[in-house]
Amino acid sequence: MIAEQIVEACAHHAEGPIWDERAQRIRWVDMLRGDVLSMPFAGGEVERLHVGAVAAAIRPRANGGLVVGVERGFALVDAANEVTALPEVWSDPTVRMNDGACDPQGRFYCGSMAYDEARGRGVLYRLDPDLTVEAVLSGVTISNGLAWRADGATALYVDSPTGRIDELDFDVNGTFTGRRPAVTIAVDGAVPDGLALDRENGIWVALYGGGAVHRYNERGALDAVIELPARNVTACALDPAGDLFVTTSADGDEDNPAAGALFRAEVGVAGLPVGAFAG
């Protein structure tokens, strides 16, 4: 499959694309510049909204606007793009938020990592609609891709240095149990990063350091590869028409003119709907 570059390399560390149906926009983040980027589905100019020192992950809010994982916690963006920072979850400046997603019940999860990538210092946090925060997984290193299967009872999760996509049982109270390996990534120099699920139970995962997105079928077998001209592929999102949107990073790949750009590939299978935050 071929990936087409659809915007210039306008981000340093692009991450976390989402297909925002309500706003009719594709959104992603320039993570370490603290900006949320967006453009209309039909194409056009890329717009940029600064939300803080870090813009780690985003999801739409059910009543308009966005929820954002920021450097040490969460922020809310209203329909007029006004940003409200919530109280910091921790004070340690050596740890920041990374990737996140919403569960089927409308709660937002975002996971942390140490800036120096020290092992075991990350935590996956849950932001409830009443804006309370709870830690739900600890001892992770680089908390990355998170998504729920269509049944809502199974989640997929990436802690990048493990080289795996793990599967977890999930209940309606927002807890995870029974963590076990689902897919092992065996690509030299690459680790799994962000992921997206399709309507045929396929898992699409970005390979950071691998210059590609892989698809694994419901049995965990590799059955599609999309190669990209940037080495550090960070995340992906599927739309209802069967297009896959892919973000890339220029971090460590600064001389590559494609690094930091947004790409699209026609993959022919629709994605699961993006969950919205109920708060």
Q: What is the DSSP string of 150-186?
A: TTSSEEEEEEGGG-EEEEEEE-TTS-EEEEEEEEE--
Contact between residue 37 and residue 28 where contact means Cβ atoms under 8 Å apart: yes
The DSSP symbol for 236 reads: E
**Single-letter amino acid, residue 243:** D
β-strand partners of 179? none
Q: How many CB atoms neighbour CB 249 within 10 A?
A: 27
| pLDDT attached to residue 195 | 98
The domain spans of the chain are 4-266
Confidence of residue 42 (pLDDT cuts 50, 70, 90): confident
The DSSP symbol for 228 reads: -
Find all residues with CB under 8 Å of 204, minimum gap 6, and list them: 195, 196, 197, 198, 213, 214, 215, 236, 238, 244, 267
| pLDDT attached to residue 41 | 87
Alpha helices (runs of H) in 229-277, residue ranges in sequence order: none
pLDDT one-digit tens code per residue, 221-234: 999 999 999 999 99
C-alpha distances out from residue 221 to 25, 64, 180, Å: 32, 38, 16
Structure tokens at 188: 């030299």
Mean pLDDT on 249-275: 96
Contact between residue 271 and residue 253 where contact means Cβ atoms under 8 Å apart: no
Q: Which of 111, 215, 93, 121 is nearest to 158 (CA)?
A: 111
Structure tokens at 45: 């100019």
Contact between residue 160 and residue 193 where contact means Cβ atoms under 8 Å apart: yes
Confidence of residue 100 (pLDDT cuts 50, 70, 90): very high
C-alpha distances out from residue 187 to 149, 190, 234, Å: 25, 6, 15
The DSSP symbol for 31 reads: G
**Single-letter amino acid, residue 140:** V
pLDDT one-digit tens code per residue, 149-165: 999 999 999 999 999 99
Q: Kindly report the average pLDDT of the chain as a whole number.
A: 97
Mean pLDDT on 121-129: 98
Mean pLDDT on 177-197: 97
Structure tokens at 128: 């409830």
Q: What is the DSSP string of 98-155?
A: EEEEE-TTS-EEEEEEETT--TT-EEEEEE-TTS-EEEEEEEESBEEEEEE-TTSSEE
Where do we find the tokens 């996140």? 100
| pLDDT attached to residue 190 | 97
CATH code, residues 4-266: 2.120.10.30
Backbone angles phi, psi at 161, to 5 degrees: -65, -15
What's the CA gap between 75 and 67, in Å, rounded? 6
Q: How many CB atoms neighbour CB 175 within 10 A?
A: 13
